[in-house]
Amino acid sequence: MKMIFRWYGKNNDSVLLNHINQIPGTDGVAWALHDKQPGEVWNQPEIQETVEGIRSYGLHAEVVESVNIHEDIKLGLPSRVEYIEKYVQTIRNLASAGVKVICYNFMPVFDWIRTDLHKELEDGSTALFYENNKIQHITPEALIKKITKNPEFTMPGWEPERLDQIQTLIDQYKNITEEDLWEHLRYFLEKVIPVCEECDIRMAIHPDDPPWSVFGLPRIISSRKDLQRLVGLVDSEYNGLTLCSGALGAHPENNIPAMIHEFKDRIHFAHVRNVRRYDNGDFIETSHRAADGSVDIVKVIQAYHEIGYEGYIRPDHGRHLWGENCRPGYGLYDRALGIMYMLGIWDTLEKGGYKQ
């Protein structure tokens, strides 16, 4: 496996490239042009500048997370034709800079959703928390206002400048069923996968987070059945997955090690993190350690080892530790600890397991 670290760029991240290259076993970053709006072409010079900046620290820039998809594509509007052309241009530009994997998602309106970005854990650290009951009793607008009191602390898809459009977007989805969303995803993939094959760049869809419908919006990448359907939409290895143990792991029926075995040829990017689930549907993000959450991360890494995983992997969200001031879920310390935990398991397996 190839260990990487998510980096939000020199203007948007408290973590520096020089911090990342000090984490053992970490060779690259998952990056993006974070100032780009969905639907804008990423031009070669700006891609090149970022890629060269990353490489100057001895890190590779082979994974992009994410090139976001314009809502008109997800809604299946006539303007999707133009937005898909732009997406294709971005794919070509990224491929010419040596990018190998593009992570994306097909969640309507919002990306990941939490109700508290700094929920205190027993040890005094804080972490991202999802309270099911709150989501059922709060409007998206009220939730956005609550969590964006500090403008630095937003979630992707929840930017304050989008506030005005949120209601309009939600209304636009009122007549879109899950089946419609599947058809729109198929349409998109049928256009982009042939280009990916031509330029050797793999698409890796990120599952829904949380893996169920929120605010009445359709969500379709939440379970094993959904992943089976996704890989069948366009039968090409270039149509693949970002298998996120935390996003999928919030649902007790999702067996992550079994998914790793079943979809082994289509996993191009692995996100690893732990969550502690509660019976009422709430969950909190914990350290990576198996004992701290509901997902057995030892078994997750063991499954990657069993399939001989050679793709990219990164620690996903971490807790906020030792007074760190960082993007929610994206501090340096807990994610670096997560890497050492994963590599510890992996290296032990490489040596044939622990023997007394």
Q: Where are the alpha helices (DSSP H) in the chain?
A: 17-20, 44-55, 71-75, 80-96, 132-136, 140-147, 163-172, 178-199, 224-233, 245-249, 256-262, 297-306, 333-350
Q: For 119, phi and psi rounded to 5 degrees?
A: -80, 130
Give the C-alpha separation, 94 to 166, whole Å.
30
| Choices 42-50, 100-108, 306-314, 333-341 (CB under 6 A): range interacting with ligand DNO | 100-108
Nearer to ligand DNO, 105 or 115 (CB): 105
292 is catalytic: no
Nearer to ligand DNO, 122 or 154 (CB): 154
Task: Find out whether 334 and 319 touch, Cβ atoms under 8 Å.
Answer: yes
State how beta strands 283-285 and 275-277 pair: antiparallel
**Does the footprint of ligand DNO cover residue 105 (CB under 6 A)?**
yes
316 is catalytic: yes
Nearest to 5 by CA among 353, 331, 345: 331
Choosing from 111, 197, 292, 324, the residue that interacts with ligand DNO (CB under 6 A) is: 111
Q: How many residues bind ligand DNO (CB under 6 A)?
A: 13
Choosing from 50, 66, 93, 126, the residue that interacts with ligand DNO (CB under 6 A) is: 66
Nearest to 265 by CA among 303, 233, 236, 245: 236
34 is catalytic: no
| Choices 55-63, 98-106, 181-189, 342-350 (CB under 6 A): range interacting with ligand DNO | 98-106
Site residues (CB under 6 A) for ligand DNO, limited to 248-287: 271
Give the C-alpha separation, 171 to 323, whole Å.
41
Given the residues 184, 251, 271, 288, select the one marked as catalytic.
271
Give the C-alpha separation, 121 to 334, whole Å.
14
- To 10 degrees, the CA torsion angle through 110, 112, 116, 120? -170
**In the stretch 285-324, what mask flags binding to ligand DNO with x, by CB under 6 A?**
-------------------------------xx-------
Residues noted as catalytic: 206, 244, 271, 316-317, 330
Could you list the residues that contact ligand DNO (CB under 6 A)? 65-66, 103-105, 111-112, 156, 206, 271, 316-317, 329
